[in-house]
Structure 1
Amino acid sequence: MKMFSLRIFLVLSLLAGLGTVGSVGAAKAPSANPAANVMVEQWVGHNFTFLALPVDKQAAGYEIFIGEEAVHGFQGDRSVRIPYAEYVGKQITVTGIVPFPAGYNQKEYIVTMTVDDTGEKLAARTMRGQLEGLVLTSDLTNARQQFLGTTVYPKFRDLSGLYWTNTTMPRSVSLPIGSPVTVVDVYAGNQSQKPIWLIVSVNGEKAILPIAYSWTNTPVEAWTEAPPWQADLFAADPKISLGGSYALWAQIENGDIEEGMTKEQVHLSWGKPMRTEKNDSVWLYGTKRLTFHGVVLASIETLSETNETSIDTVSVK
């Protein structure tokens, strides 16, 4: 607690312009790499945009605080959160990062920032290395440059419809997995994990395909070498890039699998496994255990619901 109180003091000193803080990085120009993944420690100088919040979270506002109220906010006072309506869509520039110990050899960060159009100073505290409600502005810009007007191939059977009201659920738009859709708009969404909405045209209807463009503002343990948007769409026709017969793609669309499928094809058909074992060579879905040799599905087994060590080998088609 003493260490955290000291960190708060340092942040407030920074906000008040009382001096510099050694653990706060000096401002630097953002990376020119359009797909750069920016670690929290590298945020200084980068620009972020406030996302819309889900309807049920708008009244609470953003968990970000005006400088002089930051101490109360860090201590759990929800009344000093900045209001949603006044900040949604605004842009901020990060001015300082102050790490502090968070237990179990982990650390979090106090982030100081300035609102671009007013110069107002704000502060926030990361949770698992992430700040909710913000998207890296260059991610939004680069996603628009890469995807707007292009054809993409979603890895989903259903997408949320674009138009809805606060009192009705969005209507689902159905489409075959890997079918072509055209991106007609790109803008900030309302979820920090997938903060960018690709607005796509599906048979004359508009639907939302949420993506993350880079791993910035995502817990580091979730990062992979591939860009995160590849989990949600193909940039090229998968029937060509992945191969397979018409019958195989019909199985994927029906949610069926069989031995000989690749990991990518199984993932498309059944989605992400509940867990994996043996260095990703075994995937588990409920009572089904799938074993792969390399990337090829070698066997499908049914586990006993009462004893997972009792296994009946079956073929699922």
Structure 2
Amino acid sequence: MGLLVDGKWQDTWYDTKSTGGKFKRQDSRFRNWVSRDGTSGFKAEADRYRLYVSYACPWAHRTLILRALKGLEDIIDLVVVDPVMKENGWMLTDGNPLHTLYTHVQPDYTGRVTVPILYDKKSNAIVSNESAEIIRMLNTAFDDFATKECVDLYPAALQTEIDEINTFVYHNINNGVYKAGFATTQDAYEEAFENLFAALDKVEDILSKNRYLVGNHISEADWRLFTTLVRFDAVYVGHFKCNKKRIVDYPNLWGYLKDLYQVPGVAKTVHMDHIKTHYYASHDTINPTGVIPCGPEIDFTAPHGRG
């Protein structure tokens, strides 16, 4: 785990001393946009873009799901980094650190080196490293090339509701597990822990009345929540000390998780071996032995009962 400072790599863990033990995530730095007509500066074209991901990363997982659901596997290249992240950060399969891509694009870059990255091969530019924005590009910009029919995951009529639930889920659940897991004081951990499970209780209640978070169809809000839920029992319960309840202990959340997992094309994006290896083998400050648990056994293919 580290970052670049003026283009120089530093193996530095997150600074929690200045925040009272609280983990604070850095905002993404590359925020350009791909559009169908190219007026944004980047035009949607086949074989122009490459997606850099980790199968372990929940933020990158969102983009993998959209790429699969839209049938863009032959349109947008994929590069998967090694699941173990040590003193040089994410590593490419050719043995080079991912941070060399950042400095190739911007030699004086300062910030964390993260995935996903949407990269433009034509102009040798990083379009975006913000997953929330990449999935919206994949939702509509490449529709002329999509090989699968997929409903609009961010329909105009529901955008306000989707944005509201996204904000709630992001702060309390998606990032909430990290706030608990990376906290370095008891107070910071307990605050994150309580907020996390209060939020899960709220979502459990929503799902007791609705099949999905917003509206009558799956939306981007569901996929943004899914990538945290699918990692929860295998990683966050133990590794991040989020152990008040498991997802399997929530009847509606558990059924909902299985429902989403069983959407055609989604299961192949879930690589539990990468997920467990990354968290348990990469975070030396949390799991210094690097021992990876053998369990738990979780059957995401069991009947979900959410007709």
> Which has more radius of gyration?
1
Structure with the larger strand share: 1
TM over 0.5: no
Which structure is higher in helix share? 2
Of structures 1 and 2, the one with the larger relative CO (CA 8 A, separation 6+) is 2
TM-score of the aligned structures, taking structure 1 as reference length: 0.25
